[in-house]
Amino acid sequence: MRHTDTTTRSGRRRRGRRAALLAVSALAAGLLPLTGSASASAADDPAPTPVDRFEGEVPFATQPAEGIFTWGGDTDDHPKLELKERADAPEGAKVLEGAYDISGYGGFSHDYAADEPAHDWSAHKGIRLWWYGDDSGRKLTYELKDGGAHGEASELWTTSFTDDFTGWKQVELPFTQFEYRTDYQPVGGIDHVLGLDKMWGYAVTLPTGTKSQFAMDGVELYGKADQSLRAQVSTDAAVYPVKEGGSAAVKLSVTTTGNVPIEDPVTIEYATGGGTADAGKDYTPVTGKVTFPAGTASGAAKTVTVATSKDSARSETAETIPLKLTVTGAKPPAESPQVVIDAHGLTYLDAKAPIKKRVADLVSRMSLEEKVGQMTQAERAALKSPGDIASHNLGSLLSGGGSVPTPNTPDAWAKMIDDYQLRAQATRFQIPLIYGVDAVHGHNNVVGATIMPHNIGIGASRDPQLAEKTGAVTASEVRATGVPWDFAPCLCVSRDERWGRSYEAFGEDPALVESMETVIKGFQGRANGSDLDRNDKVLATAKHFVGDGGTEYGSSTTGSYTIDQGVTKVTKQELEAVHLAPFGDAVKRGVGTVMPSYSSLDIIGDDQGPVKMHANAAMINGELKKKLGFEGFVISDYAGIDQIPGDYASDVRTSINAGLDMIMVPNAYADFEKALLAETTAGRISEARVNDAVSRILTQKFKLGLFEKPYADTSNSDKIGGAAHRAVAREAAAKSQVLLKNDGNVLPLKKSQKVYVAGSNADDIGNQTGGWTISWQGSSGKITDGTTILQAMKKAAPGATVDYSKDASAPTAGHDVGVVVVGETPYAEGIGDVGNGHDLELSAADKTAVDKVCGAMKCVVLVVSGRPQLIGDRLGDVDGLVASWLPGTEGDGVADVLYGKRSFTGQLPVTWPKSEDQLPINVGDASYDPQFPYGYGLTTRATGGGSGERGLVDKARLKVQQKAGGKVTQAWAKPFAEAEHLALTGDYKGALKKLAAAYKAA
């Protein structure tokens, strides 16, 4: 909302009328004079500019509209707000009052409208507000939202003030007082510069632990900004690596908020010295001063050259030459730049030497502190300073779900990661970072990337070659953004669809999961790792070791989760046959890393009870590394060691001794390094264990070619989201569709038919792609580029009538067939657990849409979801039923099978239950009475089945389904499902025998 000077003047008049009342109130409270209140403005100061008057001019609303809104760790942490008239209001008639009782975190924000330009606050000295204090001594945190796309995708800058007064007080917060927030950034940080010319609002974080109230009024910008706030000196890089004898050109630039010329001169004094390089021997010292005169245009630059020297040493580690900058008249760079003379002549740098020899040489040279750094992985957004990469010798960074650069483009990703890699060049051995992301169904972090169906849909395709192709596309797009490591694939065997991670599994049958592990070859290439240095391959991660798909409902102790991160209770035989088998196959395929599960494992009969997998030495050291022969490295899950019982030192000691090689900290990297160093120095972790972990990590870095090519190879960036990649995703979407019912051959649709489309998921790319898309939990709406199912249907039948009414409220008359697209909204991990705000029922709106459409015409229901939904009560009213899973960005693949361009060939990767009470229900259960059995799937293909023995089984399966005629009985379903399991294990004779039994029972 735009504010005018008229508003400001009227506010002053109201303030004047209340002067007497305020004076009395303040005097009674002992507040006169008002310590810290606004001083008289200088004559040339701009008039104060209102931000919030709380008279109702800014509503309670959320993005994209302008508004005030609350937030918190849970619903109880949201403060209660109201605009309330008060006689003692410092400004206007109303104030913002609030009540709160926060156990986790909570507060409120004012965001400007996202569909209007950001506001320019750069002319002002700071922001101030009236706060009604109760002298509690509590600290209030105040944040500014700077730059980015909108208020929820901006950079956060923070300061605080203390409630150490009584009654109203005007609190001034100069912009120079704000600091970049390091513990959380919604976009992971943009440029780490408080620009002030593109502001999106503010936020207030309220104190925790005490039930209280507050009142606030008159938020406004005040004072005149001085040049030191508006002008910034920067360098074109923080680190300048040069070969010995080369020169570094350090470009010094001066820029201003709003790109206006500087008003006063800016001087920069510079001097080399203080690093590990010897002045006069390794480089020629330089000192001097550069001046940018008043009137200099924003963006002007001057260069300082630092020349290095060759010496007689044939081999040396890297040496640093800091260039100290002293700036007058502008903000200095956040840190002084460094020139780095590259390491050279050392064995580990010889690209022709065997990797084993290179690793041994490097490990032998490293200090314990450097080894500890290699075992540490930090979240990029948690870096207190980018310089910590070098000072902490960090071995790895990651982007957690939603931790993305701004703008979220492939080029910005590559630049961001290159900047981080450059920092690693300032370390003694210049060991490159290995950067990791959760690209679990395509490069799902990046807007515009190709988003594949989630794994449950890939499992439904029953196509190992397709799985490999999806992995190859993902690897190409991920590596083109500078990321060499993917935390995928999930090899969990999902045994209970109440689990919020169900869709991350290929299915409930370990044989199906193993058959889809061709995706590892798509990621990595050849099993020996010789393809990992290619610009279209990434290091893969088999997760979550082991048993995460078998956790018991109700066993989780993580927050409100009901099953995720719970306890898997199995016999040793069941563990090996169901949950461990896929990991053995992954090791044979050469998977480079393995990630343990958050969950606990309770092996029946071993008398140990539940053991957290991050602490399970018997499984990690014993089973994975020793018995299965895994030679890669084990990476913890996000803060996974924090769930091990005991104090932090114990968590570190237990996890490393259990066989974890790198710990995803992600925020407490300094604490972790300190603890690991202390535990190793004390002998509670052996240096041999540390050397083993570091050797495993470095081996993969060498295989990836990072020492020779640490920076992004963007030559494939034009393929990201390109036609060829989307064609693979389209094929995967089509093959993932499972036809469960097709009475009267309602499918495929005819292009001549008038089609009525309804349902919540027909035209929503966010719902269609599900969780782990752009953000961790995913979200509804237009979150990335793609084609919705509705859009695809209109493309598939050009000129035909395809009418859409989301809630089926539009008239239905005159249509030949209805297509109702229903299902779930996005979620991820335990947030999506059934019982944690979720169930397996369709929403009331979706049920209404199904009833209206299917009551008026022939209809097909598509279920877009991460797991089966309960549709038994409406099954008799539905002519066609399709399990569409989460098909990704390419809705054209769904339209391809709906209109017969491709045939339906998908099969259920999980058992479809009749009721939630049946869960867990899986193929092989002694009692098995599902709505649709595992492996079920009708076809619209003229002749079913392929060639060979597997083709023979497929043909037999289709005949058995045809004979059943949609009537699924317990006697028929059990052998039918077991036949599919046997076929996937290669026991075709056994499969045919089971199908014969099912045929007889039909």
Q: Maximum Cα–Cα distance for the chain, whole Å? A: 97
How much is the pLDDT for 5? Answer: 31
Which active-site residues does the annotation give?
637, 829
Return d(Cα 561, Cα 555) in angstroms, integer: 9
Residue 515's pLDDT band (cuts 50, 70, 90): very high
Residue 16's pLDDT band (cuts 50, 70, 90): very low
How much is the pLDDT for 74? Answer: 78
Closest CA to 342 of 246, 237, 417: 246
Tell me whether the omega of the peptide bond preceding residue 443 falls within 30 degrees of 0, making it cis: no
Per-residue DSSP letter, 143? E
Q: Above 80 in pLDDT, residue 635?
A: yes
Q: What is the mean pLDDT of residues 848-872?
A: 98
Question: How far lies 838's CA from each of 170, 636, 781, 873, in Å?
Answer: 46, 28, 20, 19
Question: How far lies 165's CA from each of 20, 40, 222, in Å?
Answer: 20, 22, 22
pTM here is 0.86
Q: What is the mean pLDDT of residues 609-621?
A: 98
Return d(Cα 461, Cα 732) in angstroms, integer: 7
Three-state secondary structure along 307-336? Answer: EECCCCCCCECCEEEEEEEEEECCECCCCC
How much is the pLDDT for 32? Answer: 31
User: In the chain, what percentage of residues exceed pLDDT 70?
Assistant: 95
How much is the pLDDT for 784? Answer: 96
Q: How does 437-456 read in b/e, with b if 16+ C-beta sit within 10 Å?
A: bbbbbbbbbbebbbbbbbbb
List the structure tokens of 405: 């650069």
Closest CA to 274 of 352, 326, 339: 339
Q: What is the pLDDT of residues 217-275, one digit of tens each?
A: 999 999 988 777 788 899 999 999 999 999 999 999 998 877 789 989 999 999 999 99
Q: Choose between 232 and 442: higher pLDDT.
A: 442
Residue reference for tokens 């004779």: 989
Q: What is the pLDDT of residues 172-182, one digit of tens each?
A: 999 988 888 87
Closest CA to 250 of 233, 267, 238: 238
Residue 475's pLDDT band (cuts 50, 70, 90): very high
Q: What is the mean pLDDT of residues 87-102?
A: 96
How much is the pLDDT for 944? Answer: 60
Angle at which helices 891-898 and 789-796 pack, to 10 degrees? 50
Stretch among 91-100, 207-216, 391-400, 848-857 having the lowest mean pLDDT: 207-216
Written as one letter, the residue type at 61 is A
Paired with 267 in beta bridges are 291, 328
Stretch among 5-9, 73-77, 527-531, 781-785 having the lowest mean pLDDT: 5-9
Q: What is the pLDDT of residues 189-204, one digit of tens each?
A: 677 778 898 999 999 9
User: In the chain, what percentage of residues exceed pLDDT 90?
Assistant: 88
Q: Residue 379: phi, psi to the nearest 5? A: -75, 130
How much is the pLDDT for 189? Answer: 67
Q: What is the pLDDT of residues 460-469, one digit of tens each?
A: 999 999 999 9
Residue 23's pLDDT band (cuts 50, 70, 90): very low
The per-residue pLDDT of the chain, averaged, comes to 93
How much is the pLDDT for 186? Answer: 82
Is 462 in contact with 428 (CB distance < 8 Å)? no
Strands 858-864 and 880-883, by their bridges, are parallel
How much is the pLDDT for 104? Answer: 84
Is 844 in contact with 747 (CB distance < 8 Å)? no
Closest CA to 548 of 502, 485, 615: 502
Three-state secondary structure along 527-589? Answer: CCCCCCCCCCCCECEEEEECCHHHCCCCCCCCCCCCCCCCEEEECHHHHHHHHHHHHHHHHHC
Is 475 in contact with 518 (CB distance < 8 Å)? no
Residue 107's pLDDT band (cuts 50, 70, 90): very high
Q: What is the mean pLDDT of residues 608-625?
A: 98
- Give ∠ CA 61-66-67 in degrees, rounded to 5: 40
Is 768 in contact with 891 (CB distance < 8 Å)? yes
982-987 contact pairs (CB < 8 A, 24+): 983/950, 983/953, 984/509, 984/511, 984/512, 984/514, 984/515, 985/511
List the structure tokens of 930: 């599902």
What is the per-residue DSSP string for 35-63? TTPPPPPPTTSPPPEEEE--SSSS-B--T
How much is the pLDDT for 398? Answer: 98
Q: Above 90 in pLDDT, residue 626?
A: yes
